Structures are given as C-alpha cells and as structure tokens.
Amino acid sequence: MPFLLPPPLQGRIYRTRAAAENATRVTKTINRPHRLARRIPPHAGGTMRSRLPSGAHCYLFCLWALLVPPVCLQHASHHRRKDHGGGGGGGGGDDDGGVGGGEERPKLLLVSFDGFRWDYVDRVPTPNFHALKREGVTVEVVENAYITKTFPDHYSLVTGLYAETHGIVANEMFDPALNRSFSMETDSVYDPRWWEAAVPLWVTLQRAGGRSGAAMWPGSDVRIHGTYPTRYLAYNASVTFAARVERIVRWLAAPDDGEGEAAAVDFGLLYWEEPDESGHRLGPESTLMDDVIKDIDEKLGYLRNELKKAGLYERLNLVVTSDHGMTQLSKDKIIELDQYVSRDLYTWVDKSPVVGLLPKEGKLEEVYSSLVTANPYLFVYKKEDIPEHLHYSHNSRIMPILLEAQEGWTIVQNRNGTFMLGNHGYSNTLPSMHPVFLARGPAFRQDYVKPAMRSVDLYPLMCHILALRPLPNNGSLAAVQDLLSVAPSPSPATASSTPTAAAPTGSSEGGGGGGDPAPGYSYATAVGSLLGVVMVLGFLVVFVRQVTLKQLPALPMRSREMSQPLLQEDLRL
C-alpha cells in the first residue's frame, strides 16, 4: 500500500493552509464545564447524627477530623486565589487543582509573534517591548524545543513537553502506524490523533472548571481530547491583528461571574504570523526587516492600549514570546541531495533545514552511507544516533534518517523551486533560533532580567499563575520561579522532570514521568496529612474510651479479646 505523503514542499512560504483560507471568521463557543459541586452535601452531618447513639460527638469529631485536612489542602494549594465568599471545599474533579465556585482565577494572556528573534528588540526602536522590559521580566536566552519550527514549538509552549513526547515533531509529518501524513497546509491539521499524545493547557484548565480563549494559536481550533478552547477563532490568516485583539480582549474583559458566552476567560492565547513570513521572504539581515519589527512593536502597543482601555492591563499577566528565531540563508549555501543519492530510494518528509528521510524497504544503509559523508555542511543521523540533548528520537513520527543543515544552509533535492532568504528549524543551541521572552503583571517581578530558561519551563510557570496542577512535563517551575513576584511555597519536588517519550498513537495523556506539582501542594500535603493523623488518632483514643466505658458497661475493662471485635465491627458503620 503506498504511503500517503505530501510532495516535496521545500521553498514555499509557510502559513498558507488552504482550508484555512476558505474559513470564515467564526467564533465557536463551547459550553464550559459546570463548576464542580462541593464534595460534602450539607445534610451529611445530620444524617450521620441521626444514626448515632449516645457517643455521637465522637463520630462528629471523626467526621471533622477526616474533612479538615482536605479542606486545608484546597486552601493551601490555592493560596494565591482571591476568595469572593464562596468558601473552601470547592474544586476537586478528576485531575485538577481547580478553583472552587465563587473564586476568581488569575488571568493570563500568552502572545506569540511567530519568528520574533530575541535580539530584534534592540535592533530598531521598540518602545513597547522596552516598556514591557521595565514593567516586568525579560529572559535573555530562551532555549526552545528542537526542531525549531512553528507547530512543534507552539505545542511545546502549551504542554511543557519536547516534540518527541507531545508528538507534533514537525510541520510536515508521517505517522507509520496511522499511515497518514500531516501538513500544516492541509486539513490533516484538524485530525485530533496527531495532537492527543499531550494535553494542551487550555484543556487542563477547562477540566478544572476554568475558561480559555484562543485567537489563531496553532492547534487551538482542533478538537483535542474532545475539547475546543471555551472560545476560539478558527484559523484564518486574513483576520487582522486588530480583529484578533478585539476578540481576545472582549473575552478577557467579560464579567467573571457571567455564564456561557457572558463569562470571562481566564487564559487567552493570541497568535500573529509576523515577523516570520517577512523573515523568510526578506532574510533577517535585510534592512527591510527594520520596518517589520517596528510594525510588530506598534502591534504590541495596540494590544497594550486595548488592555488598558478594558481595565485589564494592571490585573492581567501578559507573556509575550515566540516559537523560534530566524537566520539568513544564501544561494551559495545549497545542499542538493540528488547529487548524492537517488530519490527513488527514499521518501522526503518535512522541509529544510531539518528533513526526515524514510528509506524504501531495505534501503536504509544505502541511503545513509550515501549521505553521511557527502557534504560537510550536512549532518546525517540515524534515528537512534540523534544526540540525546535534542530530545528528538523517541517517537515513531521521527523518520529513520534525519538530515540537519548547518546554520544558513538549505537542503533541497535540486535547485528547482522557490528559494527563501531566511529560515529556522536548525539546532536549538544556536542563538539565531532563540525567541524573545518578556512578561509583566501581578505575578511577575518588575525590571528583572534573567539570563536563561528553556521554553518548556513556561508551562509549569503558567500552571502556577493559573493555580493549576501541571500534568507531567519536561519543564521546571523551580528553574523559573525567580521571575515571580511571590515565590511559590517550598516544595521538595523542584527538579525538572523528564516524561518518558512515547509513540503518540499509544501514549497516555501527557506522557509518563512526574512533573512539578502545583505550587505549595507537597508542603500542604505534608501539613494536611500530619493534621489528619493526629486528629484520627485522637478520635480513636476518645472513641475507645467512650465505647468501652458507656456503650458496653457489661464488659469488664480487662476483656480485650471480647471488646476488640465489637469495636472493629462498629467502626465499619
């Protein structure tokens, strides 16, 4: 059976999904999950009381002892939330660290300007980026996830996972198990099976009773694990930046206590295609890029003003970042595979500068040996030999042979086709591939510069701000907690966790391994557990004393053999 693979796509400009071009500006509203009911029905105490004999106060003490620790846990782990009188004991659910009814969740807006390299902010006057620097935090070096392309890195930002674990390993992919191809330029993007090795943050938030709104963020218009963002815009590249901002600000500024479409979202995601498109077309070193960068700064200024007009700017946490940087290409730096190996021996997957090759059956060694020493600017890896630090081998969607060009070089089969002057996708250790990162708001320090972080660390940081328990991830809250205005509660589990990479079609949600727990959770667990043990022990002492003395007066104090079984039977009630 022939593989369903796309034709070679090198040379095209990104961001032209055919289906999306035809899509209308549609806002779809999904009913948000109901706030979870309180765990303890109000009549429970009365029911218990009516069944108890004269030692009832012991049972009530027991009930209190068992209930107090969970309530303490809820309050401790949600210490950052503002309580509007709904009381504790809310939240709960399958996997959440959710906010209970009546509590307001801190707001967060994540903005990505595609392809905004970290050093663009100092290349031309960018007053709005610099205002953010003064008002909040800046990270100078952000090591993003390999490969440094749009879809993999945007999914890493909202999952905290490297591509080998979240399964979006490239912009163009082939899945041998599904026998299907993925391309950001086709409707394959909307097949949830490509995305469901991980759970994006908006899904986790909504499972915890929160609401999210997404304006064109890659993957946010896909029904992942049965869920869309509470509100979202179906992808359409022709929708202006102002229109996207208008929508996301309206969603964030709605009343917090509204229902359905009237309710505010807690978490917003905003995506803009520039300066990536211009970077590809002009090359980042072109002086024409200066105006493109100035335009992005003006767009950031527009967003800031709209947030101020809506009364959101001072109470919202705003993160401005990107998926990757951009580097200059040259027509003198072309690697033509046809010079070294017959294209009949392999199928080409994804685009330069990192290309997967799927050799025809029995041809792996021939293809590999033909290429491995063919060109000094071409790095050739068998899948199992891909360097571990790239976190890019443990997934069936990563092809048996991986080609990576040296920075500035382009891999093609031959010179037919359009040539770009800028590109990304190269190693995430290269400064040119690194994105910008700034953040401001109540959760963040002011005028603080941090030397370095990994982009996967943003996920546990966002979970902390949103008071959510993160799913297993490759990031570390401890690594970025110095960005916060208030340090998280002490936690023994502050080291970075490394989920086990898994084939996406068979993996469970979020991969394996452990992640950073919710802020303060482990500390609260220890305190709550200690309280619970003390209280239950206290109850047992009082209970034994009460029952043996009052309920069983006929039994002599020394008849332990007789009284013990009766006590245990009674305890099971």
Nearest to Zn ion of 164, 274 (CB atom):
274
Scan for tokens 């995506």, then name that residue.
Answer: 271
Structure tokens at 396: 């069936």
- CA separation for the pair 259, 199 (Å, rounded): 25
Cα diameter, the chain: 102
Instruction: Using the minimum distance from each CB to Zn ion, give the nearer residue, 218 or 268.
Output: 218
**Residue with token string 């002490």:** 490
- Start-end of H helices in 187-239: 201-207
Q: How far is the CB of 354 from Zn ion (least distance, A)?
A: 13
- Minimum CB separation of residue 276 from Zn ion in Å reads 4
Q: Which residues are catalytic?
A: 150
Which chain residues interact with Zn ion by CB under 5 A? 14, 276
Tokens of 476: 């570390």
The size of the chain, in residues, is 573
Question: In the numeric block, which tokens belong to residue 552?
Answer: 């069983």
Q: How far apart are CA 104 and CA 466, in angstroms?
A: 10
**Whether residue 353 has a cis bond before it, omega within 30° of 0:** yes
Rounded Cα distance between 129 and 59, Å, is 61
With beta carbons less than 8 A apart as the criterion, state whether 424 and 354 touch: no
Q: Element (H or E) spanning 272, and its range?
A: strand 267-272
- Considering the complex, what minimum distance in angstroms separates the CB of residue 115 from Zn ion? 5
Q: Output the DSSP codes for 471-503.
A: PS-S--HHHHGGGBSSPPPP-S--SPP-PPP--
Q: How far is the CB of 424 from Zn ion (least distance, A)?
A: 6
State the nearest-atom distance from the C-beta of 277 to Zn ion, in Å. Answer: 7
* Residues near 397 by beta carbon (within 8 Å), at least 6 away in sequence: 167, 169, 170, 173, 174, 175, 176, 504
Cα gap 152→323, rounded to integer Å: 9
In sequence order, the β-bridge partners of residue 108 are 267, 317
Distance separating the N- and C-terminal Cα atoms of the chain: 63
Q: What gap in Å lies between CA 59 and CA 242, rounded to an integer?
A: 61
Q: Return the residue nearest Zn ion (CB atom).
A: 276
What residue has token string 């846990």?
73
Distance of CA 516 to the CA centre of its chain: 13
CB of residue 356 to Zn ion, shortest distance in Å:
18
Q: Is 284 exposed, middle or buried (0-12, 13-18, 19+ CB in 10 A)?
A: buried
Q: How far is the CB of 327 from Zn ion (least distance, A)?
A: 11
Task: State the virtual CA torsion across 465, 469, 472, 473 in degrees, nearest 10.
Answer: 0
Q: Shortest gap between Cβ of 274 and Zn ion (angstroms)?
A: 10
Shortest separation between residue 180's beta carbon and Zn ion, angstroms: 23
Cβ closest to Zn ion, residue 280 vs residue 464: 280
Parallel, antiparallel or unpaired: strands 212-215 and 267-272: parallel
Please say which residue, 423 or 481, places its beta carbon nearer to Zn ion: 423
Let me know: does 195 contact 506? Beta carbons within 8 Å. Answer: no
Of 62 and 184, which CB lies nearer to Zn ion in the complex structure? 184
